[in-house]
Amino acid sequence: MGSTTVKQLYDQAVRSFQNKNYAGALLLLTCAEAMPEWDKVGLRSRGSLVYVRARCLYSLGWLDNALACCTLLKKTYQDPRGAALAKRILGTGHDNEQAA
* pLDDT value of position 95: 52
Instruction: Quick: pLDDT tens for 70-90.
Output: 999 999 999 999 999 999 999
* pLDDT value of position 48: 93
Angle (nearest 5°) at CA 72 between 69 and 74: 110
Report the CATH number that the domain containing residue 45 is assigned in CATH.
Answer: 1.25.40
- 100 within domain boundaries: no
- 97 within domain boundaries: no
Confidence grade of residue 9 (pLDDT, cut at 50, 70, 90)? very high
Tell whether the model's pLDDT for residue 42 goes beyond 90.
Answer: no
- 1 within domain boundaries: no
User: What whole-number percentage of the chain has pLDDT above 70?
Assistant: 89
Reported residue count of the chain is 100
Question: Which of 35, 81, 30 minimizes the C-alpha distance to 55?
Answer: 81
Phi, psi at 68, each rounded to 5°: -60, -40
Amino acid at 86: A
User: What is the spatial distance between Cα 74 and Cα 7, in angstroms, rounded to a whole number?
Assistant: 22
* pLDDT value of position 84: 95
